[in-house]
Amino acid sequence: MSVYPTITPEEVKDKLAKGEALHLIDVREDDEVAEGMIAEAKHIPMGEIPESLDQLDKSTEYIMVCRSGGRSGRVCEFLQEHGYKVVNMEGGMLNWTGETMPKK
């Protein structure tokens, strides 16, 4: 089993507040992101990740986000096995206290 790094929602919020450029990918389903997602995140539903690899760069670190951290963890394992740099946001959007916005 692969082990990937994790980051807390609070750390993500702090980094964004400092203006750090983060590459967030929200892997939740359409109905979930409709309720609100982190403004800087890109939405790629978990089931579409395998055919969306051409949208990702192996030299970029991505922070994966889901509702509670489970699905994003599985996506992290999959992407790591394919040579991508990934970090899982622990606790997912359930623990996010920052601003959210409806998906554009």
The two three-digit tokens of residue 103, written as one number = 């998906």
CA distance 48 to 36: 19
User: Which of these is catalytic: 63, 64, 66, 86?
Assistant: 66
Matching residue, tokens 């982190």: 38
Cα–Cα distances in angstroms (integers) from residue 89 to residues 51, 54, 63, 71, in the given order: 22, 22, 6, 11
Is 76 an annotated catalytic residue?
no
- Give the residue numbers marked as catalytic: 66
